[in-house]
Structure 1
């Protein structure tokens, strides 16, 4: 897109997609960029179907808990939040008032939610979507298959980028329970729970299952975008 094409787009539409992910370990079978690769591909496909632009992905996220695995790149929560804020405010300057964040990494969520609340007070509506939270996916994957780098995520990345995944290296590992079932938050790192980096069963992953995930998730994103198109931001956002 050229700046003239961007100008024409922003004259007509006030909605944009922002994919965000991370660069961190995803087991021995998946690429380090799994989170941002999935988020960006979903954003691209949704953009085609809805005629809404997507930005390039923000690849790095809040992943210090994976730092013991080679190749993991992480940034601080403060820097992450400021970076995303600047991206969003740049869009606002051009007339965007609604941003759909396709977040591919759960570790980013708390900072994104905090930022979304702040930007709402400035008249910018930021909606956050995480593909693995869709309830329908539980019909096709057991709970043990829905963890980090487990069968559901591995199937999706394998379907989208088959050349980047080696399913023969997929292993199963149930995460260790550090404090048992105590109702507390434990600030653990990934190495405290798993040796392989996998949380659950990944050996049951395959491309056909990944295609099913893709179909379900893409349909959900398209539905969200169509709903956002009709929303009047002034009805939802107000300055304090």
Structure 2
């Protein structure tokens, strides 16, 4: 009897340049002759309503880093899928890690890569709940290791092209039209836009009163709103996701208003800004 071997029917992945999980040892050695730069996305595994996957933040971060690495010599080295997401734990599938765990994993990652000859690191936070952790992580790496690290969002800001932004008419944040638009460009096969629904948002009374100023981007109102909003149920603030919205969307607009064009424009804007930052860092590193 003849047995015909077949390949894994689920394997669709294509090798991507400068993406560490795809690279061989000789390829890393060759890379190091040209660059000592690494970009590490810090994402999350958390609910993103009924139309986006739980891995949205991790996947979006990795895909954006891959696109940057096609423009410049920078190693893409994701090491951790999950992030800090305690406020989404009422939704099955969400995984949340402590800040201490996230810090430890990434510091040890940097130490490993420094051992091999990498010296400069960009940390791309692709999940809002990791923002403070990323800031502290960058500081700890600079204080305690031989590496030099920067926060992606801070690094690219001076290089972002100014653009006309339509005036917001409603709260539109987690799993809303902006994030959904990015997903439509970065991971189109995982977006199930037909399953999106109009969210029904329920905020604590004082946050509801604050909302018009938040929507208008008033600095103090927005800072206080985000300091209290979207926090774990255990805090007693009554702002965990499930307490504010059954759909998991933290906003008032149906995500089906998202567009591929918006996602493409935003992604290309980020890639261009990061490429310009890398050029400037390379220039300064040579001097």
Aligned mate of 1:126, from 134, 137, 149: 149
Matched, 1:214 2:264: no
| Cα-Cα RMSD | 2.7
> In the TM superposition, what are the counterparts of 1:130-145 in structure 2 within 5 Å?
130=153, 136=162, 139=165, 142=168, 144=170
* CA-to-aligned-CA distance 1:4-46 (integer Å, 9 cap, x gap): 2212322432211112211111111111111011111111111
CA distance in 2, matches of 1:139, 1:9: 39
Structure 2 CA distance for partners of 1:137 and 1:78, relative to 1, 3 Å: farther
* CA-to-aligned-CA distance 1:185-205 (integer Å, 9 cap, x gap): 434422222221112222311
Of residues 179-188 and 159-168 in structure 1, the stretch that sits farther from structure 2 once superposed is: 179-188
What's the TM-score once normalised by structure 1's chain length?
Answer: 0.86
Aligned mate of 2:173, from 140, 147, 150: 147
CA distance in 1, matches of 2:189, 2:58: 16
1:145 Cα offset (Å): 6.5
What is the match of residue 204 of structure 1?
A: 257
Instruction: Indicate the SS of the match to 2:38.
Output: strand
Instruction: Indicate the SS of the match to 2:284.
Output: coil
What is the match of residue 238 of structure 1?
A: none
What is the match of residue 189 of structure 2?
A: 163
> In the TM superposition, what are the counterparts of 1:94-105 in structure 2 within 5 Å?
94-105=116-127
Instruction: Indicate the SS of the match to 1:68.
Output: coil
CA distance in 1, matches of 2:198, 2:167: 14
Of residues 224-233 and 99-108 in structure 1, the stretch that sits farther from structure 2 once superposed is: 224-233
> In the TM superposition, what are the counterparts of 1:18-37 in structure 2 within 5 Å?
18-37=40-59
CA distance in 2, matches of 1:206, 1:48: 24
1:179 Cα offset (Å): 5.0
1:174 Cα offset (Å): 6.0
Whether contact under 8 Å (1:102, 1:128) holds in the other structure is yes
Structure 2: stretches of 5+ with no match in the other structure: 1-22, 211-223, 232-238
Instruction: Indicate the SS of the match to 1:180.
Output: helix
CA distance in 2, matches of 1:89, 1:138: 42
Instruction: Indicate the SS of the match to 2:257.
Output: coil
Q: How many pairs were matched up? A: 234
Instruction: Indicate the SS of the match to 1:127.
Output: strand
Tell me which structure has the larger Cα radius of gyration: 2
> In the TM superposition, what are the counterparts of 1:1-240 in structure 2 within 5 Å?
1-56=23-78, 58-121=80-143, 122-130=145-153, 136=162, 139=165, 142=168, 144=170, 146-173=172-199, 175-178=201-204, 180-181=206-207, 185-186=227-228, 187=231, 188-200=239-251, 201=253, 202-232=255-285
CA distance in 1, matches of 2:197, 2:115: 47
CA distance in 2, matches of 1:228, 1:141: 34
CA distance in 2, matches of 1:84, 1:138: 36
